[in-house]
């Protein structure tokens, strides 16, 4: 097969948040890593800063575990990966697993990235039921570019769909005239 | 004797003459008035009230002048000529052709600008006997200007004067009585102003908002154009859900009294409803710069971030507002709303309950509780709480709308329709009531009525995608698939992002077997969905190729 096309970068997830259709819920979860180099851990992964990153320090697969207090609807994940800055540390094969706990995980997505250069959006939609509902998500880095051993991950965001049905089971309205009367404050 | 005559001009009750001859009306008690000039013989003409008003833009209740001590000054002739400046304390009606030697009353400062009368009093004769009635009543009714002990002393002195008058002592005579009548008239004027304002306020507090606006609009202009009155009017419009007018009035308040923080939280919520983020962030910056120690600026900041959908930051600001003033119920309500938006329903319940603990008549908090129970599908509880909110604020069409929807969820569709009819009766401009009525009619299978409702709604709000979405669903039920699809496509055009899933699903259901007509999919390539949908199996391969728009873009 010819050289595979580079994975295109998705849009900045902040813009998604501003549409009001999704909400970032990483702060409601407990994050843990399979390994990390001191000073390059969970805080750097979740600090909204694309300059800092998590660097793993063990054997593959490298894992990021996200555990919620309660079963949460997750619509998508966004991972920031940049081949130009991370070279061989850039993940190339990522597997997403969900379940109730560590013993109950099931892979639902596997994705290959070729020289990514920005945000990668991973929608986690069940076939019939829409966004998945889960207690735990595990992101496994199975392989890196150029067969690197350790990986860098700069930022990960978890999004849930906003349930905006304040009254009635209707989708969001679009005009201010409607929105004004939708709710009271 | 000294009698103080003060201006009723500001009440529009009696015209005043800011005449240079006023000092001639002043006279020290006991002096024979040797030094006094006779008042202008013709009787002071009714001069316009403009001279007071031009500086008297402060409200009646800025009683800064009243805090000054009464300094009884000996009568001297110079005083009669000195204060030729404008806004001398005014004499009452010209019918009192020449009340000789009457001093200006301290409370004249109530009705003229505090600054000018303060100057006046330093130059002019000091009042010895300010009116007892207005001062006292002013003290109890408004409490805003802050009456001081000096006023009390004056009141007591006046009491003595009054009693002396009634005893008809000394050389009092008709001038004394006239002055007393003036006092009384002035007091009446003040009383009627207070009464009007009070009536307006009562109407507002019982959420009889249209009445409140009427009453308050009838106040004289220079009382109307004050921060407090305009604030109440703005709030009345807000409670009526007339957000554009409310915004206009509040911006006027900001222009007149840019230092005012009270009531700004309602202004910020108005801007939040109107989604005017620039104005809201400017307001937030101004207020937080100005005053970090009152809860209102923090509430404004919280609203600003909430509009930007940064709910965590908004929560932080509302918590700060609560820290600054734990008795400010509205901050709890706003915090509750933010917590609902971040799906922390238990904490939100706690916040709303706190708000109710602080103020039982805070109907917003009752509404918030109802919303949470509605989200948790506890419809009975939701209805109870909404009804409680409605009992406090009976003219809110939004509340009635919510009650209608809840009743429909409880399967009491007839009640629901009645409630919605009432809501539309109260506020015909509320498009949501019609929308919900149409949706209930649709659910009760009264398609024609629903369609009619929706057509009317289309005229009112032509750009709302939900309207077309519902019309499409109605047509689909009626079997008119072309019209249905047309409306769905319009709905999608108007809102490609948010309503995407539901509209797409609605369109996809077209391909399920219950539809009679076989629809050729290539007619509708536009409606291809992303690959996660299961219904795609019923679509042809031709459509599949169009699905691979980068998924990452799909959600945008």
Q: CB A174 to CB B405 under 8 A?
A: no
> B494: which chain A residues are within 8 Å (Cβ-Cβ)?
174
At A70 the three-state DSSP class reads strand
* Chain B interface includes A102 (CB < 8 A): no
Per-residue pLDDT at A136 exceeds 60: yes
Q: DSSP code of B423? A: H
> A23: which chain B residues are within 8 Å (Cβ-Cβ)?
309, 311, 342
Q: CB A178 to CB B312 under 8 A?
A: no
Helix H segments across B291-396? 295-307, 311-324, 329-341, 345-358, 363-375, 379-392
Q: CB B534 to CB A127 under 8 A?
A: yes
- What whole-number distance in Å separates Cα of residue B298 and Cα of residue B296? 5
Please state, as a whole number, how many other Cβ atoms lie within 10 Å of the Cβ of residue A88.
15
Q: CB B436 to CB A168 under 8 A?
A: yes
User: How far apart are the CA of A179 and the nearest CA of chain B, in angstroms?
Assistant: 7
> A167: which chain B residues are within 8 Å (Cβ-Cβ)?
374, 401-402, 405, 436
* Maximum distance among all Cα pairs of chain A, rounded to whole angstroms: 58
Residue B507 pLDDT: 73
Helix H segments across chain A? 13-19, 42-45, 83-86, 176-182
Residues B130, B105 contacting (CB under 8 angstroms): yes
**Residue from the list B398, B401, B498 with its beta carbon closest to the beta carbon of A171:** B498
> B552: which chain A residues are within 8 Å (Cβ-Cβ)?
8, 10-11, 119-121
Question: Which ipTM value was assigned to this complex?
Answer: 0.84
- What whole-number distance in Å separates Cα of residue B323 and Cα of residue A70? 30
Q: CB B466 to CB A182 under 8 A?
A: no
> B267: which chain A residues are within 8 Å (Cβ-Cβ)?
none
Give the list of residues 6+ apart from residue B278 with CB closer than 8 angstroms, or none.
none
Binning pLDDT at 50, 70 and 90, where does residue A166 land? low
**Residue from the list A126, A175, A184 with its beta carbon closest to the beta carbon of B367:** A184
**Percentage of chain A lying above the pLDDT 70 cut:** 95
Residue B88 pLDDT: 41
> Residue B40 corresponds to which tokens in the numbers above?
């202008």
Q: CB B436 to CB A167 under 8 A?
A: yes
Residue B268 pLDDT: 96
- Chains A, B: CB contacts under 8 A, how many? 128
B271: closest chain A residue by CA: A180
User: How far apart are the CA of A10 and the nearest CA of chain B, in angstroms?
Assistant: 6
- What whole-number distance in Å separates Cα of residue B433 and Cα of residue B445? 18
* Chain B interface includes A173 (CB < 8 A): yes
Cα–Cα distance list, B528 to B299, B505, B542 (Å): 44, 10, 10
Q: Say which residue the tokens 């409880």 belong to.
A: B410
* Chain B interface includes A118 (CB < 8 A): no
Pick from B335, B552, B553 the residue to mutate for testing the A interface (most A CBs within 10 Å). B552
- Average pLDDT of the segment spanning A4-15: 78
> B500: which chain A residues are within 8 Å (Cβ-Cβ)?
171
Helix H segments across B74-225? 77-81, 108-111, 114-123, 132-141, 149-167, 173-205, 209-217, 221-224
> B432: which chain A residues are within 8 Å (Cβ-Cβ)?
178, 181-182
> Residue A112 corresponds to which tokens in the numbers above?
């290959």
> A170: which chain B residues are within 8 Å (Cβ-Cβ)?
439, 466, 469-470, 502
- HEC string of B330-347? HHHHHHHHHHHHCCCHHH
Residue B497 pLDDT: 66
> B242: which chain A residues are within 8 Å (Cβ-Cβ)?
none
Give the list of residues 6+ apart from residue B285 with CB closer than 8 angstroms, or none.
none
A171: closest chain B residue by CA: B499
- What whole-number distance in Å separates Cα of residue B15 and Cα of residue A119? 74
> B551: which chain A residues are within 8 Å (Cβ-Cβ)?
121, 123
> A126: which chain B residues are within 8 Å (Cβ-Cβ)?
532
Per-residue pLDDT at A162 exceeds 70: yes
At B379 the three-state DSSP class reads helix
Q: CB A21 to CB B498 under 8 A?
A: yes
Beta bridge partners of residue B17, listed in sequence order: B91
Residue B161 pLDDT: 54
- A16-61 pLDDT tens trace: 887 777 888 998 899 999 999 999 999 999 998 999 999 999 998 9
Per-residue pLDDT at A184 exceeds 60: yes
* Chain B interface includes A5 (CB < 8 A): no
Terminal-residue alpha carbon distance, chain B: 83
- What whole-number distance in Å separates Cα of residue B477 and Cα of residue B491? 17
* Chain B interface includes A115 (CB < 8 A): no
DSSP string, B266-287: HHHHHHHHHT-HHHHHHHHHHH
User: How far apart are the CA of A59 and the nearest CA of chain B, in angstroms?
Assistant: 30
**Residue from the list B374, B464, B551 with its beta carbon closest to the beta carbon of A123:** B551
DSSP3 helix / strand / coil % (chain B, rounded to 5): 65, 0, 35
* Chain B interface includes A166 (CB < 8 A): yes
Interface of A with B in 21-80 (CB under 8 A): 21-23, 27, 75-76
> B364: which chain A residues are within 8 Å (Cβ-Cβ)?
184-185
Q: In what order do the strands lie in the sheet with A22-24?
A: A22-24, A155-161, A76-82, A117-123
> A18: which chain B residues are within 8 Å (Cβ-Cβ)?
308-309
Chunk chain B into consecutive blocks of 10 residues (it has 556) and report each block's average pLDDT, rounded to whole numbers: 43 45 43 43 42 43 45 44 42 44 53 45 42 42 43 52 54 82 92 94 93 92 92 94 94 93 94 94 95 94 93 94 95 95 92 95 94 93 94 92 92 92 90 91 90 91 88 90 89 72 69 44 39 38 41 42
- A71-110 pLDDT tens trace: 999 998 999 998 999 889 999 999 999 999 999 999 999 9
For B519, counting Cβ atoms within 10 Å of its Cβ (0-12 exposed, 13-18 middle, 19+ buried), the class is middle
A163: closest chain B residue by CA: B341
At A169 the three-state DSSP class reads coil
Residue B95 pLDDT: 44
Phi, psi for residue B545 in degrees, rounded to 5: -65, -25
Nearest by Cα to B298 from B323, B276, B274, B275 = B323
Tell me the angle at which helices B397-409 and B363-375 cross, rounded to the nearest 10 degrees: 30
Residue B357 pLDDT: 96
User: How far apart are the CA of B251 and the nearest CA of chain A, in angstroms?
Assistant: 19
Nearest by Cα to B116 from B89, B78, B135 = B89
- Rounded CA Rg of chain A: 18
- What whole-number distance in Å separates Cα of residue A122 and Cα of residue A118? 13
Residue B383 pLDDT: 94
Binning pLDDT at 50, 70 and 90, where does residue A179 land? confident
B431: closest chain A residue by CA: A178
Residues B79, B124 contacting (CB under 8 angstroms): yes
- What whole-number distance in Å separates Cα of residue A92 and Cα of residue A97? 16
Terminal-residue alpha carbon distance, chain A: 58
- What whole-number distance in Å separates Cα of residue B3 and Cα of residue B127? 8
Residues A158, A26 contacting (CB under 8 angstroms): yes
């Amino acid at each position: 097969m010819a050289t595979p096309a580079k994975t295109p970068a998705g849009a900045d997830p902040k813009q998604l948040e501003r549409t009001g259709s999704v909400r970032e819920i990483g702060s409601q979860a407990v994050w843990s890593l399979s390994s990390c180099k001191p000073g390059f851990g969970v805080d750097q992964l979740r600090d909204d800063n694309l300059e800092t990153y998590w660097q793993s320090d063990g054997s593959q697969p490298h894992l990021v575990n996200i555990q919620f207090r309660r079963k949460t609807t997750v619509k998508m994940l966004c991972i920031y990966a940049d081949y130009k800055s991370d070279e061989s540390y850039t993940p190339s094969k990522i597997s997403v697993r969900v379940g109730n706990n560590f013993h109950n995980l099931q892979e639902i997505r596997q994705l290959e990235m070729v020289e990514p250069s920005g945000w990668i959006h991973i929608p986690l939609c069940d076939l019939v039921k829409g966004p998945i509902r889960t207690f735990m998500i595990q992101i496994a880095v199975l392989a890196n570019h150029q067969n690197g051993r350790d990986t860098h991950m700069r930022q990960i965001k978890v999004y849930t769909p906003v349930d905006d049905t304040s009254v009635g089971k209707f989708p969001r309205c679009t005009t201010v005239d409607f929105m004004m009367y939708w709710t009271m404050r | 004797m000294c009698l103080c005559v003060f201006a009723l001009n500001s009440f529009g009750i009696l015209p005043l003459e800011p005449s240079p001859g006023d000092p001639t009306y002043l006279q020290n008690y006991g002096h024979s008035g040797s030094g006094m000039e006779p008042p202008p013989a013709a009787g002071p003409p009714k001069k316009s009230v403009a001279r007071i008003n031009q500086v008297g833009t402060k409200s009646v209740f800025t009683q800064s002048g009243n805090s000054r001590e009464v300094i009884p000054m000996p009568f001297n002739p110079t005083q009669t000529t000195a204060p030729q400046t404008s806004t001398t304390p005014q004499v009452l009606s010209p019918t009192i052709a020449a009340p000789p030697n009457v001093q200006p009353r301290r409370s004249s400062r109530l009705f003229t600008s505090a600054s000018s009368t303060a100057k006046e009093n330093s130059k002019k004769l000091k009042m010895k006997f300010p009116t007892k009635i207005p001062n006292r009543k002013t003290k109890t009714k408004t409490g805003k200007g802050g009456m001081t002990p000096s006023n009390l002393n004056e009141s007591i002195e006046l009491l003595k004067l009054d009693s002396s008058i009634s005893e008809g002592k000394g050389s009092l005579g008709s001038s004394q009585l006239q002055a007393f009548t003036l006092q009384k008239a002035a007091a009446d004027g003040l009383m009627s102003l207070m009464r009007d304002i009070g009536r307006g306020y009562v109407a507002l507090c019982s959420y009889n908002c249209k009445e409140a606006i009427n009453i308050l609009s009838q106040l004289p202009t220079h009382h109307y154009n004050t921060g407090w009155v305009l604030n109440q009017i703005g709030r009345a419009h807000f409670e009526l859900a007339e957000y554009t007018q409310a915004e206009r009035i509040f911006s006027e308040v900001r222009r007149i009294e840019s230092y005012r923080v009270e009531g700004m939280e309602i202004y910020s919520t108005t801007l939040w409803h109107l989604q005017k983020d620039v104005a809201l962030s400017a307001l937030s910056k101004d207020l937080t710069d100005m005053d970090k120690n009152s809860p209102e600026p923090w509430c404004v900041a919280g609203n600003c971030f909430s509009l930007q959908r940064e709910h965590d930051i908004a929560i932080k600001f509302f918590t700060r507002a609560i820290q600054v003033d734990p008795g400010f119920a509205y901050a709890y309500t706003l915090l509750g709303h933010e917590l609902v938006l971040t799906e922390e329903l238990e904490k939100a319940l706690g916040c709303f309950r706190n708000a109710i603990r602080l103020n039982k008549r805070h109907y917003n908090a009752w509404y918030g509780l109802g919303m949470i129970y509605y989200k948790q599908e506890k419809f009975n509880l939701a209805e109870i709480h909404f009804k409680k909110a409605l009992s406090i604020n009976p003219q809110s069409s939004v509340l009635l709308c919510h009650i209608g929807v809840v009743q429909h969820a409880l399967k009491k569709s007839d009640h629901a329709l009645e409630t919605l009819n009432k809501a539309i009766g109260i506020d015909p401009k509320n498009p949501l009531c019609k929308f919900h009525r149409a949706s209930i009619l649709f659910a009760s299978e009264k398609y024609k009525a629903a369609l009619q409702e929706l057509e009317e709604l289309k005229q009112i709000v032509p750009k709302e995608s939900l309207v077309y979405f519902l019309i499409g669903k109605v047509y689909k039920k009626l079997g008119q698939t072309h019209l249905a699809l047309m409306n769905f496509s319009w709905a999608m055009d108007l809102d490609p992002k948010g309503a995407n899933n539901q509209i797409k699903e609605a369109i996809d259901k077209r391909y399920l077997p219950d539809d009679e007509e076989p629809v050729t999919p290539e007619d509708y390539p536009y409606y291809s969905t992303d690959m996660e949908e299961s219904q795609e199996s019923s679509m042809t391969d031709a459509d599949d190729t169009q699905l691979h728009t980068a998924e990452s873009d799909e959600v945008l």
